[in-house]
């Protein structure tokens, strides 16, 4: 295949191979699901049966109005449920951003610590991490009112929390791309020097993201699970690292399993998983002793208990621990542990977002909690299933990861292990 060179960077350009290969076909299918999800969300968001008091006066015999009033009285109106405003979009966004930046952080750390084998595989890992960040941004953009998003540029409030992320992403993403460029052009020393700022920015993304969320949530005391969690940033980072290592484990199996370095990479991943799940386990023990008892009971003994113990604790900690505890040459154990940590990490994010919504209380007055819902029968548990559209968008975000990664790989062969010089 013909190769080209630009700024010292060799790349292959064959449009057919770039767009039509096995990975891209899978990505297209997943992205098509996301497109269908966006259509579903559009229908729900912009064409739901809803009416206001004036419509009732102006055209009282309208059949659409009849449906809208029926929904208003007996059902839940519209896309956003006031009691459960944060949904699967946020779960997926947080998971992708934290886990993706976690992969980049761990690789940058390994570069600084001169783990040669990780250095050689760094371009692929980093491209994968970056693909996850893009998938997170894709998810959150579909959560917003897409028709009004141009106002972000036309009338930005640059001091708003959301805008804090923009300069960070505008620096972080090019820095990671430049790091990949340095690795691909075999400028190893420069790449190692750049690893430190990338390391700091990877944590910066997590810290700023948390700061924005905490700033928002801390005002609304009704949902204080999210702000009372001790050292929440650390918790997010640690739990993300476990899933990040899982992502790296599965990726290594798919891409490097036939290479002689595979054993070394998997052993490092095994040690990493073991270390971080140990820290995470310590964290979990302490955390639920200090959070508000209402939430602790809802999650540990209430409607979330199966998700917490079987979906989260078992998958992200217990099973991986037993699988990777001893050094092994049965690498399928590490791959299996990796899959568990990926799924368990997702369950943890789901639990955290939906758990935060779940306690049906309101503290609107600051003089005590009131019944949240003045018109319905008082509930002890708030939960709203994700919309079908949301689920499709989340599945489709995996297609974004595959597509972005594969484009990198088709152009620059990033899956290849590269020697330092």
Partner 1 sequence: MNYAMALDYQNCINCKACETACKEENGVQLGAHKQRIWVGIVEGSIFGKPFVNLYPSQCNHCIDAPCVSVCPTNASHYAPGGIVKVDAHKCILCKGCMEACPYDARFVDDTTVAVDKCTFCDHRIEKYGTTACQETCPTKVRLFGDLDDEESDLVKLLKTKRFFVQKERSNTLPKLFYIVPNDEAYLRQSVSHDTTIYTWESFKPIYDRASKKRSQG
* Interface ranges with partner 1 (CB under 8 A): 45-46, 48, 50-57, 68-69, 71-73, 76-83, 85-86, 143-145, 147-149, 151-152, 154-157, 159-163, 215-217, 219-223, 362-371, 373-376
Count other C-beta atoms under 10 Å from residue 154's C-beta: 8
Closer residue to partner 1 in complex, CB, 1/378? 378
Cβ-contact 299, 383 below 8 angstroms? no
CA angle 391, 396, 401 (to 5 degrees): 135
> What is the sign, positive or negative, of the torsion defined by CA atoms of 272, 275, 281, 282?
negative
CB of 186 to partner 1, least distance (A): 41
How far, CA to CA in Å, does 61 sit from each of 49, 55, 262? 15, 10, 71
CB of 152 to partner 1, least distance (A): 6
Burial (0-12, 13-18, 19+ Cβ within 10 Å), 401: buried
CB of 88 to partner 1, least distance (A): 14
Q: Where are the alpha helices (DSSP H) in 113-160?
A: 116-143, 151-154
CB of 22 to partner 1, least distance (A): 37
Closer residue to partner 1 in complex, CB, 241/372? 372
Beta-ladder partners of 75: none
Closer residue to partner 1 in complex, CB, 57/327? 57
How far, CA to CA in Å, does 100 sit from each of 61, 107, 256? 53, 11, 19
CB of 367 to partner 1, least distance (A): 5
The Cα 126–Cα 87 span in angstroms is 28
CB of 382 to partner 1, least distance (A): 12
Closer residue to partner 1 in complex, CB, 23/221? 221
CB of 91 to partner 1, least distance (A): 15
Q: Residue 232 has which token pair?
A: 């929440």
The Cα 415–Cα 399 span in angstroms is 18
The Cα 302–Cα 379 span in angstroms is 13
Closer residue to partner 1 in complex, CB, 1/219? 219
Closer residue to partner 1 in complex, CB, 8/75? 75
What kind and span of H or E run contains 340? helix 331-358
**Which value, to the nearest 10 degrees, does the dihedral of the CA atoms of residues 102, 107, 110, 114 take?**
-160
The Cα 96–Cα 169 span in angstroms is 14
Residue 271 backbone dihedrals phi, psi, to 5 degrees: -65, -40
CB of 316 to partner 1, least distance (A): 27
Closer residue to partner 1 in complex, CB, 285/367? 367
Q: Concatenate the DSSP letters of all residues of 154-187 into one string.
A: HS--TTSHHHHHHHHHHHHHHHHHHHHHHHHTT-
CB of 310 to partner 1, least distance (A): 30
Closer residue to partner 1 in complex, CB, 1/367? 367
CB of 146 to partner 1, least distance (A): 8
Closer residue to partner 1 in complex, CB, 190/216? 216
Closer residue to partner 1 in complex, CB, 219/285? 219
């Amino acid at each position: 295949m013909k190769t080209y060179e630009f700024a010292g960077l060799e790349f292959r350009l064959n449009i057919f191979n770039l767009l039509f290969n096995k990975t891209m076909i899978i990505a297209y299918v997943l992205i098509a699901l996301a497109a269908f999800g966006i259509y579903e969300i559009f229908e729900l968001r912009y064409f739901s049966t809803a009416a206001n008091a004036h419509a009732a006066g102006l055209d009282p015999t309208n059949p659409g109005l009849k449906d809208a009033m029926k929904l208003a009285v007996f059902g839940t109106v519209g896309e956003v449920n006031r009691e459960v405003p944060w949904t699967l979009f946020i779960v997926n966004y947080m998971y992708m951003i934290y886990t993706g930046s976690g992969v980049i952080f761990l690789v940058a750390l390994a570069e600084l610590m001169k783990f040669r084998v990780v250095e050689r595989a760094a371009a692929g890992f980093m491209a994968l991490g970056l693909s996850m960040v893009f998938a997170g941004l894709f998810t959150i953009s579909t959560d917003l009112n897409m028709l009004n998003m141009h106002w972000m540029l036309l009338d930005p409030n640059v001091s708003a929390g959301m805008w804090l992320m923009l300069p960070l992403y505008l620096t972080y993403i090019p820095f990671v791309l430049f790091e990949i460029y340095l690795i691909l052009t075999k400028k190893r020393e420069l790449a190692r020097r750049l690893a430190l700022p990338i390391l700091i920015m990877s944590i910066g993304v997590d810290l700023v993201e948390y700061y924005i969320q905490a700033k928002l949530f801390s005002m609304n005391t009704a949902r204080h699970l999210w702000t009372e969690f001790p050292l929440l940033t650390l918790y997010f980072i640690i739990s993300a690292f476990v899933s990040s290592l899982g992502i790296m484990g599965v990726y290594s199996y798919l891409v490097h399993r036939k290479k002689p370095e595979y054993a070394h990479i998997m052993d490092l991943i095994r040690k990493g998983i073991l270390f971080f799940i140990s820290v995470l386990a310590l964290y979990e023990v302490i955390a639920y002793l200090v959070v508000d008892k209402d939430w602790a009971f809802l999650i540990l003994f209430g409607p979330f208990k199966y998700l917490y113990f079987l979906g989260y604790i078992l998958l992200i900690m217990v099973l991986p621990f037993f699988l990777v505890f001893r050094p092994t040459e049965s690498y399928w154990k590490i791959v299996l542990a990796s899959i568990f940590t990926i799924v368990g990490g997702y369950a943890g994010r789901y639990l955290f977002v939906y758990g935060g919504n779940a306690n049906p209380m309101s503290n609107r007055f600051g003089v005590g909690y009131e019944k949240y819902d003045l018109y319905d029968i008082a509930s002890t548990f708030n939960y709203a299933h994700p919309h079908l559209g949301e689920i499709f968008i989340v599945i489709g975000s995996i297609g974004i990861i595959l597509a972005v990664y594969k484009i990198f790989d088709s152009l620059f062969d990033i899956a290849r292990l590269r020697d330092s010089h």
